[in-house]
């Protein structure tokens, strides 16, 4: 099991002045896993993701991502991960192919490799006819799929998805999750945050953050059992708002 650990977080703390955004996190993420990262707004999710993706340096403790330390080698981390954020991240005034080429180049892929990957990607998404279409003229669902495919174009060990399905219709969300499954089956670890609790059910394991700490971490089924809840949503409500239990009981 130990060899399969791709993210290992030890005593991770991040403080802004007197405010502790991330308070002593400890967890591991395994290869090929879909790891859901839940928590209310302001629970410290974003801060944690920023550290794990090499954007921010921890105050104390460390996180090892694909073998690189977030404290000492954030630049190395950036080269081996993929990232897709909530806001749509392709350039509207560039064509599909230009966007793919740009990101491929940024991640240091050779021209030949970019060409091959582009053809493969377009084929997989049935996008051949859109190769030279401007992104701005594609429907949101297609853009979102494309953004995800571009985020894993360079075959990263881990891809971070920060609320990737915000503002997307249910059908597209379902299709998007099919892509996530397909990616995980290729051995790419998916680290995803979401607001949609039904999506949390799709994850292999989920962690729930509250006030900078991880208050629960297990498979959705185990969590439901442990908290005697019928859905992850119920688990979340019970954990994130402990007072809620008094009222609903």
Partner 1 sequence: MHGPTAAYTQHDMKRFLGFVKKEFLHISRDYRTLIILFGIPAAQILLFGYVVSTDIKNAGVAFFDQSKDEITRQLTDKICSSGFFTKTGDLASQDDIDRIFKKGGTKAVVIFENDFGRNLVSRGKGEISIIADGSEPNVATLVTNYMTAIISDFNMDLAGQAAGAALIVRPEVRMFYNPGLKSHYMFVPGVITLIMILICALMTSVTITREKEFGTMEVLLVSPLKPIQIILGKVMPYFLLSFIDVIVILLLSWFVFDLPVKGSLALLLGESMLYIMMSLSLGILISTVSGTMQQAIFISLVGMMLPTILLSGFIFPIENMAEIYGWISSILPPRYFIVIIKNIMIKGTGFLYVWKETLILTGFTVLFIALSVRNFKIRLQ
Residues near partner 1 (CB under 8 A) are 16, 53-56, 75, 78-79, 81, 83-94, 98, 101-103, 105-108, 160
CB of 48 to partner 1, least distance (A): 14
CA 33 to chain centroid, in Å, comes to: 11
Residue with Cβ nearer partner 1 (80 or 239): 80
Least separation in angstroms between CB 53 and partner 1: 5
Q: Which is nearer to partner 1, 118 or 236 (CB)?
A: 118
Q: Look up residue 219 and give its two tokens.
A: 């498979």
CB of 1 to partner 1, least distance (A): 28
Q: How far is the CB of 248 from partner 1 (least distance, A)?
A: 37
Closer to partner 1 by Cβ: residue 22 or 84: 84
Element (H, E) at 224: helix 220-226
Q: Which strands sit side by side in the sheet containing 19-30, from one edge to the other?
A: 19-30, 5-16, 60-65, 68-69
List the end-to-end C-alpha distance of the chain, in Å, as a whole number. Answer: 40
SS3 203: coil
Choose among 153, 82, 159: nearest CA to 120: 153
Minimum CB distance to partner 1 smaller for 156 or for 220: 156
């Amino acid at each position: 099991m130990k060899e399969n650990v791709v993210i290992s977080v030890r005593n991770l703390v991040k403080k802004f002045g007197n405010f502790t955004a991330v308070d002593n996190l400890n967890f591991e993420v395994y290869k090929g896993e879909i790891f859901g990262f839940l928590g209310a707004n302001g629970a410290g999710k974003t801060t944690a993701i920023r550290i794990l993706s090499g954007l921010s340096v921890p105050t104390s403790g460390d996180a090892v991502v694909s073998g690189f330390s977030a404290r000492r080698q954030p630049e190395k981390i950036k080269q081996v991960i993929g990232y897709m954020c909530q806001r749509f991240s392709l350039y509207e005034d560039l064509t599909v192919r230009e966007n793919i080429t740009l990101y491929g180049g940024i991640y240091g892929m050779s021209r030949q490799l970019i060409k091959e990957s582009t053809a493969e990607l377009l084929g997989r998404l049935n996008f051949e006819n859109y190769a030279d279409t401007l992104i701005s003229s594609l429907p949101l669902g297609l853009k979102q799929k494309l953004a995800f495919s571009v985020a894993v174009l360079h075959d990263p060990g881990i891809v971070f998805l920060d609320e990737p399905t915000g503002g997307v219709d249910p059908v597209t969300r379902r299709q998007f999750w099919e892509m996530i499954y397909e990616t995980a089956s290729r051995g790419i670890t998916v680290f995803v945050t979401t607001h949609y609790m039904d999506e949390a059910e799709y994850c292999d394991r989920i962690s729930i953050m509250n006030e900078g700490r991880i208050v629960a971490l297990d498979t959705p089924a185990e969590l439901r059992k442990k908290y005697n809840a019928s859905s992850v949503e119920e688990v979340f409500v019970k954990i994130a708002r402990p007072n809620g239990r008094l009222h609903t009981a």
